[in-house]
């Protein structure tokens, strides 16, 4: 099953919005989000925090700003999952 949702984050005073595709398989799920041209897969780890998985070939494309943005998206996904925001 695959659905999507919009994830908005504020970074350095500017609002950014990303489409997060949700893929549910069995007892787990993943969010696939394209951030500045790089596909990032977020999945829950053993402590129920989201970890970001990035294809090795795409890692060289990332800039420091992208890494900060990935952290913000992970925090927002965590809040959505925990029901803190809609």
Per DSSP, the three-state class of 59 is helix
pTM attached to this predicted model:
0.84
- pLDDT tens column, 34-60: 998 899 999 999 998 999 999 988 888
- pLDDT tens column, 14-35: 999 999 999 988 888 899 999 9
The Cα 12–Cα 65 span in angstroms is: 10
The domain locations on the chain are 2-81
């Amino acid at each position: 099953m695959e659905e999507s949702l919009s994830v908005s984050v504020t970074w350095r005073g500017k609002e950014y919005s990303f489409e997060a595709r949700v893929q549910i398989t069995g007892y787990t799920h993943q969010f696939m989000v394209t951030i500045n041209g790089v596909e990032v897969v977020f999945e829950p780890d053993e402590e129920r925090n989201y970890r970001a998985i990035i294809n090795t070939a795409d890692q060289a494309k990332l800039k420091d700003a992208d890494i900060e943005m990935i952290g913000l998206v992970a925090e927002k996904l965590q809040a959505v999952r925990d029901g803190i925001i809609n």
